[in-house]
């Protein structure tokens, strides 16, 4: 593991760390979302499970685990000997100070990453690979806005040259720039070995009605014509009476838009209406059904993006997703619209950061401060004094040191952090520690359980009486209500939309609303 770049640590919290405690191996591989705890019985693996690095609690069992190197550098002895020879040769060529060479070799021998270790890659590997080296030659490449890609590559290379010159003066590199990065000419040569699709923006607002989406001549990367797939797509902006960004909303403006929708459907157009979410889609279905765009029996389903297939039949389809603007493909009888193009643009409110919810189960290693009161599930309130390293049975381990009343001490293994919680006291009341082995904490828990039971009993009685009380049940929201709702000039947040639907649902029940 150390040769593969892993670091031995007391507690595994970051990728590239591992820890051994008796028959337990904790390891955080780059391939997994969480670290893995492997339980050994001798040389056999009994079980593997993911665990939360903050709480050290297990979350999920695993049947298989692939352990990858942490980074590109493999610290095998033979590799290090080869790097040692090459670095000494390069030191003379690039006039590296002997002190700098010694520092690098020391860190490599200790299997530690050198700052700016990417500069060492040419010493470890004769020819470092790029992404294109992993793509089969028969694979087609899709290049979006090739002129911009080429310009970005040239700017990146100029910036790399400037950084390289600066790094040379500071003795941070000792290889040619071409061995560290693929230059634009080398990338172009690799790209020319593939069939390329070069995509350009569709011209929706320009004076020309037609726009070529795939460029065929004079393209970036000096591609030959045989390597380019050419498709010309005629496109335009959907012709709607209500223009995007209109501040006015209402039946007087939406009427012509709906008439236009009917004309398109009668003309055999395939229409996709993109809405932000399921709720907006349901609202749009009710609104369009009320205006007889389609019948109640023929209401379209709300599909999730991305669409795997284009509409096969003429008519209207509703799909959830995000789209900045709609477009029309006249030659294909295909129109894509957004909700804003039908109802007008909504003002989007920036969500202010909400207050962080704190619960008693949120305790992590970052929260622990020496002298902080915490609560142990079985022993009550004590003071956290810090992490200590103790050897038990010949196996070293990390323990939480907790101190109780009378100087009583408790050492808790770090993997049992889930047994302790934050202490939340009453303002103005002095902290009172519990004593290990006394019955005070058990009596406190019993009293709290009794109080909780009494409160729960009162709540059950309260809700039971409300359940049998008679209230006023309102009719469900109709299309006119949905149209009024759609005219709201702001986009609701997810929580606001959920609250609105819950209130509407409660108003339709024949019992008093509890809000």
Neighbouring CB atoms inside 10 A of 94's CB total: 12
Per-residue confidence (pLDDT) for residue 329, from 0 to 100: 79
- Is there a contact between 289 and 283 (Cβ–Cβ < 8 Å)? no
> How many CA atoms lie within 13 Å of 510's alpha carbon, on the beta-carbon side?
2
Structure tokens at 214: 């795939």
Neighbouring CB atoms inside 10 A of 31's CB total: 11
d(CA 2, CA 17): 9
Structure tokens at 476: 């469900």
Per-residue confidence (pLDDT) for residue 50, from 0 to 100: 93
- Tracing tokens 């920036």 back to the chain, one arrives at 350
Q: Is domain 7-62 classified as CATH 3.40.50.10860?
A: no
Burial class (CB in 10 A: 0-12, 13-18, 19+), 242: buried
- Is there a contact between 104 and 157 (Cβ–Cβ < 8 Å)? no
d(CA 239, CA 328): 9
Cα torsion 175, 178, 180, 185 to 10°: value is 180
pTM: 0.46
**C-alpha Rg value of the chain to the nearest Å:** 33
Peptide bond into 306 cis (omega under 30): yes
**For strand 327-329 and strand 334-338, is the pairing parallel, antiparallel, or unpaired?**
antiparallel
Per-residue confidence (pLDDT) for residue 312, from 0 to 100: 78
- Is there a contact between 483 and 254 (Cβ–Cβ < 8 Å)? yes
Closest C-alpha among 320, 281, 277, 274 to residue 299? 281
| H-helix or E-strand spanning residue 156 | helix 146-169
Structure tokens at 413: 């293994």
Cα torsion 66, 72, 77, 82 to 10°: value is 150
**Angle formed by the axes of helices 146-169 and 184-191, nearest 10°:** 140
**3-class SS letters over 447-460:** HHHHHHHHHHHHHH
**Per-residue pLDDT tens listing for the chain (515 residues):** 888 888 888 888 888 899 998 888 999 998 899 999 999 988 899 999 999 888 888 888 999 999 988 888 777 788 888 888 888 888 878 887 888 888 888 887 777 776 777 777 888 887 777 888 888 888 888 888 788 888 888 899 999 889 888 888 887 877 888 888 888 888 888 888 888 887 776 655 443 333 334 443 334 455 555 555 555 565 666 766 544 444 344 444 567 778 888 888 888 888 888 888 888 888 888 888 878 887 777 788 888 877 777 777 888 888 988 887 888 877 778 888 888 777 766 655 555 554 444 444 456 666 778 888 888 888 889 998 888 888 777 777 788 889 998 888 998 887 787 888 888 877 777 888 888 888 888 888 889 899 999 999 998 888 888 777 887 888 888 777 777 777 676 777 878 888 888 888 888 888 787 77
Kindly write down the DSSP assignment for every residue of 357-397, as one continuous string.
P--TT---GGG--TTEEEEETTTEEEEEEEEEEEEETTEEE
Phi (first) and psi of residue 511, to 5 degrees: -145, 160
Domain boundaries, the chain: 7-62, 77-128, 134-234
Per-residue confidence (pLDDT) for residue 26, from 0 to 100: 93
Neighbouring CB atoms inside 10 A of 399's CB total: 17
- Is there a contact between 53 and 74 (Cβ–Cβ < 8 Å)? no
Closest C-alpha among 142, 138, 135, 117 to residue 16? 117
Per-residue confidence (pLDDT) for residue 451, from 0 to 100: 92
């Amino acid at each position: 593991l150390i040769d593969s770049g892993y670091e031995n640590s007391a507690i595994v919290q970051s990728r590239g760390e591992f820890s051994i405690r008796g028959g337990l191996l904790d390891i955080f591989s780059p391939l997994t979302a969480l670290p893995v705890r492997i339980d050994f019985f001798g040389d056999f693996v009994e079980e593997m499970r993911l665990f939360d690095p903050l709480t050290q609690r297990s979350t999920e069992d695993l049947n298989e685990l692939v352990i990858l190197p942490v980074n590109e550098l493999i610290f095998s002895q033979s590799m290090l000997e080869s790097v040692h020879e090459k670095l000494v040769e390069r030191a003379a060529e690039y006039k590296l100070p002997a002190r700098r060479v010694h520092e690098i070799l020391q860190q490599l021998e200790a299997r530690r990453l050198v700052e700016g270790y990417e500069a060492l890659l040419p010493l470890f590997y004769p020819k470092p690979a790029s992404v294109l080296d992993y793509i089969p030659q028969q694979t087609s490449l899709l290049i979006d806005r090739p002129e911009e890609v080429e310009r970005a590559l040239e700017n990146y290379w100029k910036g790399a040259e400037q950084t390289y010159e600066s790094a040379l003066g500071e003795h941070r590199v000792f290889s040619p720039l071409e061995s560290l990065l693929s230059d634009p000419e080398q990338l172009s040569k690799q790209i020319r070995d593939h069939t390329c699709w070069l995509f350009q923006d569709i011209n929706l607002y320009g004076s020309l009605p037609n726009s070529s989406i795939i460029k065929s001549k004079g393209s970036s990367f000096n591609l030959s014509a045989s390597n380019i797939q050419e498709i010309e797509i005629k496109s335009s902006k959907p012709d709607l009476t209500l223009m995007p960004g209109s501040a006015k909303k209402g039946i007087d403006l939406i009427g012509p838009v709906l008439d236009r929708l009917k004309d398109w459907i009668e003309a055999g157009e395939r229409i996709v209406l993109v809405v932000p979410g399921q709720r907006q889609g349901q609202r749009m279905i009710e609104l369009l059904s009320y205006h007889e765009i389609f019948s109640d029996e023929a209401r379209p389903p709300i599909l999730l993006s991305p669409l795997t297939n284009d509409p096969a039949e003429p008519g209207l389809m509703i799909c959830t997703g995000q789209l900045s603007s709609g477009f029309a493909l006249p030659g294909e009888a295909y129109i894509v619209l957004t909700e804003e193009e039908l109802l007008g643009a909504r003002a989007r409110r920036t969500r202010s950061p909400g207050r962080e919810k704190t619960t008693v189960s949120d305790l992590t290693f970052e929260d622990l401060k020496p002298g902080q009161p915490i609560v142990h599930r079985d022993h009550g309130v004590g003071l956290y004094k810090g992490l200590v390293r103790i050897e038990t049975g010949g196996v070293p381990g990390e323990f939480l040191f907790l101190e109780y009343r009378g100087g009583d001490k408790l050492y808790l293994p770090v993997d049992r952090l889930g047994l302790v919680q934050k202490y939340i006291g009453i303002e103005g009341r002095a902290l009172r520690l519990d004593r290990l082995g006394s019955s005070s904490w058990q009596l406190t828990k019993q009293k709290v359980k009794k109080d909780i039971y009494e409160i729960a009993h009162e709540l059950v009685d309260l809700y039971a009486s409300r359940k049998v009380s008679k209230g006023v049940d309102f009719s469900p929201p109709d299309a006119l209500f949905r149209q009024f709702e759609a005219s709201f000039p702001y986009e609701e947040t997810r929580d606001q939309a959920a609250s609105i639907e819950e209130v509407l649902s409660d108003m339709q029940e024949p019992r008093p609303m509890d809000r």
